[in-house]
């Protein structure tokens, strides 16, 4: 593949009804980045990188506003949109072979921010792999144990949430974890006949429903995204309950 020539930004800003959503240019850039994941290529496309980041932060602002309409805790302490967006730069200290840049964004809205362990709302932006939902995707060690104990100790309440018609209609794939892994045996400290066994074997507790890329760029997609986020609220509140 021949290298692309250095070019002016591909982004074109127009006033339209879709300005609150993501721009198609953002998806185009992420696709190109996936095929040209080198520091040299990115250096030649700094304007596009900056515009991509700005576009996602602007969309994060919309997401924060939408969540604030149904979650009083976020309305009371709304996070700054720029703090809700994950970085593209990859940590290369661990010798990854995937290239110096990630090719996706997470918009994470919660009371503890991206690095916190509290359950949060999330929108994933990646060409061909967009989704929205909420929960705690990948807790580790004591945090995972804490969430498992909460599900086990208050399983009736948890079951009411995940078995409701509204929940099942929105999230036909049910509760998931980020890794998708399910233990073959019950985790230590839990009985094999625990009523919550099927959930305790997971490594996280999230809702995650896929969305076509077009839903992320068209204004009518905002209602669907917001419905998935709002539908995750009972799970987020349950997991964050003291």
Quick: pLDDT tens for 184-224.
999 998 999 999 999 999 999 999 999 999 999 999 999 99
Q: What share of the chain is helix, strand, coil (3-state, %, to 5)?
A: 45, 15, 40
81 and 68 Cβ atoms separated by less than 8 Å: no
Whole-model pTM: value is: 0.89
> DSSP strand E in the chain: where?
105-109, 120-125, 130-136, 205-211
Torsion of CA 102, 104, 109, 112, to 10 degrees: -20
CA 180 – CA 118 distance, rounded (Å):
19
pLDDT in tens, 152-185: 999 999 999 999 999 999 999 999 998 888 999 9
43 and 87 Cβ atoms separated by less than 8 Å: no
Tokens of 162: 């995940």
């Amino acid at each position: 593949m021949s290298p692309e020539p250095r070019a002016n930004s591909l982004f074109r800003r127009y006033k339209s009804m879709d300005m609150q959503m993501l721009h198609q240019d953002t998806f185009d850039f992420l696709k190109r980045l996936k095929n040209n994941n080198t520091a040299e290529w990115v250096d030649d496309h700094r304007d596009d990188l900056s515009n991509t980041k700005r576009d996602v932060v602007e969309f994060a602002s919309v997401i924060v506003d939408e969540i604030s309409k149904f979650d009083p805790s976020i309305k009371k302490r709304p996070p700054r949109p720029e703090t809700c967006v994950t970085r593209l730069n990859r940590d290369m200290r661990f010798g990854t072979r995937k290239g110096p840049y990630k090719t996706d964004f997470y918009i994470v809205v919660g009371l503890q921010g991206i690095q916190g362990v509290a359950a949060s709302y999330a929108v994933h932006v990646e060409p061909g792999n967009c989704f929205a939902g909420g929960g705690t995707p990948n807790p580790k060690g004591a945090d995972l144990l804490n969430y498992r104990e909460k599900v086990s100790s208050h399983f009736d309440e948890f079951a009411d949430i995940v078995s409701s018609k509204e929940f099942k209609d929105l999230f036909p794939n049910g509760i998931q974890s980020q890794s998708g892994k399910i233990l073959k045996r019950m985790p230590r400290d839990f009985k094999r006949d625990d009523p919550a066994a099927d959930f305790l074997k997971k490594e996280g507790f999230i809702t995650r429903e896929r969305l076509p890329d077009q839903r992320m760029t068209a204004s009518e997609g905002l209602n669907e995204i917001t419905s998935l986020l709002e539908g995750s609220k009972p799970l987020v509140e349950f997991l964050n309950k003291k």
